[in-house]
Structure 1
Amino acid sequence: MTRQAHSGGCQCGAIRYRIAGELSYPHICHCRMCQKAGGNYFMAFAGTRAEDMLVMRGEPKWFRSSEPCGRGFCGDCGTPLFFRTAGSPYISVTIGSLDKPGAVTPVAQNGTESRASQFDALFSLPESPTDRSALPGGDAGILASNRQHPDHDTTAWPPKKD
């Protein structure tokens, strides 16, 4: 468990949250519902008591992915943020939506019956840093037009233009 305070939010900054309590059972889930919800091979979650989490800005939209389970996301940019089972005192946050996702290390894998068969080989693929030079304007063009919220709390977002 991690005992520090955590903050996070969506990509566009419309939703920001803060967790005052612990994050527990950080894990990745390979189940087919999580694959569809994240549009990826898996989703990574960590739980906290719902009373220890506060949405500081915005209001997530919720999709009931099954009768007992709901998934919270940003209605503006689509970032998956939360998972909650009806009646549970806990809520899970997506580790990738935390401002410091590297501070949370998964301890388990769930839903392994749906794990993509090539998953184990992914980490042996050739590696390279992000190459934005082929994009219009390269890094300068991206930096000048970046709409992604920074990995820290802000008073307002997006920033006001001068």
Structure 2
Amino acid sequence: MTTEQLTDPLTSTNAVLRVPPAAPEAAAAHFAASLAFHTDVSDVAAALGGAADPGFLLVDTRSTESWDQGHIPGAVHLPTADIPRLAEVLLHRSVPVVVHCWGPGCNGATRAAHALAGLGYQVKEMLGGFEYWIREGFGYETAAGPARRDPDALTAPLSSGACGC
């Protein structure tokens, strides 16, 4: 394949390279920005489990019915619809907020992050949401008490506990 074929979307047969990769400088800026907006389940779990004060507040933005099905210990429940009314009561602008919703198929956390940022809060979104919290084998709370499931071998390491990312 020639260089012209890589950059010409009409003649390229390789879908991965149909649009060429960004220049390294542009890629570095993009990924640095992404890390400013997102964190992941494993990093949140490590921070919550490793210190009395992780430096942020975890906020579950799901409905009350969803919260009652199960939630992450220590999270604050603030449904997205209640942010305009309750954010100032439950949150402090000096403490960064990490929001989550159900999982990657849900953009509720993105909507919540947008609302909180618009009110002046520092905010990150936890990628994977509650679904991946459970799938990675971290504990959660239900009305019946604490619960935990075995890690899903397709989403989390079964032996070492660290993915090596």
TM range (shorter): under 0.3
RCO higher in 1 or 2 (8 Å CA, sep ≥ 6)?
1
Q: What TM-score comes out, normalization by structure 1 length?
A: 0.26
